[in-house]
Amino acid sequence: MNNASTQSEQLFLKYRERVFGFFVDFLSNKEIARDLTQDVFVKILQREKALDDIDDKDGYIYQMCRNRAFDYLKKAAYRKEYWAYILSYQKESEPAVDPAADLNMNREHYRQMLEGYLSKLPHQQRLIFHLSKREGLSHKKIAAQLNISPHTVRNHLAQAMKNIRSEISPSDLEMMSLLAALYWVV
């Protein structure tokens, strides 16, 4: 067995539960989480030569998971809007809906909802959420800036996400996750 395969296997054994848990927490669907977990590890296998050059494997794998989850949500939102457009087009008695305009209205509605949820967070959670999601800072950089440990940053961020998710209805969760991806990246 060569070194890259051994390293890939070790990464799989070390991270499979965390990666799966990330997707379950993020998407609330175990079947999709299994598929996306498999996708992440297939990409790791495809890039196994580059693994030696990566110092922060935790961050690398987390970013892969985050990107894959957002890609999935963007595609899911597109499919949802596409089918809504097709269904509205088939109803001859109703005018056709412009999916782009509808998506923009929904995006604004969900953005306002997200802002409301964020305003309910305790100050420290809201600040850490903003620094992590909007500013894109790592846990280490946030910890240094706020003079707290990276573990505390991780806990505050996890609690913020838990608090936000507890406010969101299951029917809005997928769209809110997509909005969070688009809103905080933009």
User: Is the dihedral angle over the CA atoms 78, 81, 84, 86 positive or is it negative?
Assistant: negative
CATH classification at residue 86: 1.10.1740.10
Q: What share of the chain is helix, strand, coil (3-state, %, to 5)?
A: 85, 0, 15
Q: Which of 42, 77, 93 is the last residue of a domain?
A: 93
Is residue 7 located within the same domain as residue 81? yes
Is residue 14 located within the same domain as residue 67? yes
* Contact in structure between 184 and 115 (CB atoms under 8 Å): no
Range of the domain at 106: 98-186
Is residue 36 located within the same domain as residue 115? no
Instruction: Specify the pLDDT at position 105.
Output: 60
Q: What does the pLDDT look like over 84-129, one tens digit per residue?
A: 655 555 454 444 445 455 555 666 776 787 788 888 999 999 999 8
Q: What does the pLDDT look like over 71-95, one tens digit per residue?
A: 888 887 776 665 665 555 545 444 4
Angle between helices 150-167 and 139-146 (to 10 degrees): 110
